[in-house]
Amino acid sequence: IKNIGVFTSGGDAPGMNAAIRAVVRTALFNEKKITAIYQGYQGMIEGNFCEMQSRSVSSIIQKGGTILKSARCLEFKTKEGRQTAFENLQKEGIDALVAIGGDGTFTGANLFSLEYGIPVVCIPGTIDNDLNGSDYTLGYDTANNTVIEAIDKIKDTAASHSRLFFVEVMGRDSGCIALNAGVASGAEAILLPEKDTAISELIDMLETAADKNKSSTIVIVAEGDKNGGAYNVEKHVKQKFDYYDTKVSILGHLQRGGSPSSFDRVLATKMGYHAVQELLKGSTRVTIGIRGNKIVTTPLEEALNKSEFKLDEDLVKIAQVMNI
C-alpha cells in the first residue's frame, strides 16, 4: 500500500473529524501517502482529491461535522458510477481506502472492494449506534449528551407549568438514543421503534404518573416509533387523557452537531489509528469496532447484518423500574 484514500459518507456525526485526523497522521507516521476524498463517493466519481499533510488536520479534533464533507450519492449505486470512481482512484494512485460512515457507506465499500479488489477498512460513524461489530459508533455519545442537555432544559419549563412534554429524538430504526437519553434524563416513558407500545399502554403509564403528583412528565419518542412520531402520539393521548397541558418538542438536526465528547474523540482516534494499521496488515472488507473496551475488527458482511443488532433489553427493564 502506497497511498490511502480517506472519506466520510452518509449522515455526518461528531467525531468524524477526529477519525480523519487519526487516519491522516497514522498513515504519515507509517510513511504512506494519504489523500482526502471530498464528499464521499460523489468525490470519488468527480475526482475531488487532495493530498493531506499532518498540518492539514490541525485543530479539527474538537469540531463537529466533517471537514471532508459528506454526500448521498445515487450514482455510486450504479456499475458505471463505481467504474468511474475506480478509474479516478487509479489515476490518483490511491490503492486502499478508509471509509467513515453508516450502513449505506459500508454496503457501498463492501461492493466496491469485491468488484475491484481495492482493500477497504470502515469506521462506524453514525449517531444511531445501530451497527453490528461495535458497542459504540462515533457520534453516539455526543448525541446522547446533546439530547439530555436539551431534555434537562425542557424539564425546567415542564415542571414550572405542570406540562406533559413529548420529545422526539432521532432514530428511525434504532431506539438507542431514545432509550439511553430517556434513562439519563429520568423520562417517564420511552417509545422505541423496536417495541410496539400501544397508546392505551402509554396512557396507563401517564395515569399512574399523574396519581403520583409528578410536577412534570416527559415522554421520549424515537422518530421511528410505530405510533408515527411525537405529534401523532400527542394527538392520540390528548383525545383520551386531558390531565395535563401537552407540548411537543422535536429536537431534530441539532442532535447531529456539536463538538464531540471526550469519549468520541478518543474512540475516533483509536479507530482511525487501527483502521490504517489493519490496512497495512493486509485486512480488507472489515469494520473497526470497540467491544468490551477492546478494539476489534468484524467482516463487513457481518456488520451489515442488522438482524443481529439488539437493543439493550436490560436497560429497557431498568427504565421501567425507575418509574415506580
Instruction: State the residues that interact with ligand ATP by CB under 6 A.
Output: 9-11, 41, 72-73, 76-77, 101-105, 107-108, 111, 126, 128
Give the separation between CA 101 and CA 12, rounded to whole angstroms. 8
Q: Which is nearer to ligand ATP, 165 or 175 (CB)?
A: 175
- Cell for 260? 464531540
Q: How far is the CB of 128 from ligand ATP (least distance, A)?
A: 6
Cβ neighbors of 234 (< 8 A, separation 6 or more) are 166, 246, 247, 248
DSSP string, 113-161: HHHH---EEEEEB-TT---TT-S--BTHHHHHHHHHHHHHHHHHHHHHH
The answer to whether the beta carbons of residues 225 and 233 sit under 8 Å apart is: yes
Question: Binding site membership for Mg(2+): which residues?
Answer: 103
Rg (CA), the chain: 22
Give the separation between CA 78 and CA 75, rounded to whole angstroms. 5
Q: How far is the CB of 142 from ligand ATP (least distance, A)?
A: 14
- Cell for 216? 412534570
Give the separation between CA 198 and CA 163, rounded to whole angstroms. 21
The answer to whether the beta carbons of residues 133 and 251 sit under 8 Å apart is: no
CA 145 to chain centre: 13
Which residue out of 12, 95, 128, 156 is catalytically annotated? 128
Q: How far is the CB of 189 from ligand ATP (least distance, A)?
A: 26
Q: How far is the CB of 220 from ligand ATP (least distance, A)?
A: 20
- Catalytic-residue membership of 128: yes
Q: How far is the CB of 292 from ligand ATP (least distance, A)?
A: 24
Position with the least CB separation from ligand ATP? 104
Q: Which is nearer to ligand ATP, 103 or 188 (CB)?
A: 103
Buried b (16+ CB within 10 A) or exposed e, 22-60: bbbbbbbeeebbbbbbbbbbbbbbbebbeebeeebbeeb
Give the separation between CA 17 and CA 139, rounded to whole angstroms. 11
- Cell for 38? 471530498
CA 148 to chain centre: 16
Q: How far is the CB of 231 from ligand ATP (least distance, A)?
A: 23
Q: Which is nearer to ligand ATP, 11 or 15 (CB)?
A: 11
The answer to whether the beta carbons of residues 177 and 184 sit under 8 Å apart is: no
Question: Binding site membership for ADP: which residues?
Answer: 21-25, 155, 186-188, 212, 214-216
Query: What is the C-alpha end-to-end distance of the chain, expressed in Å?
Result: 58
Q: Which is nearer to ligand ATP, 244 or 289 (CB)?
A: 289
Q: What residues act catalytically?
A: 128
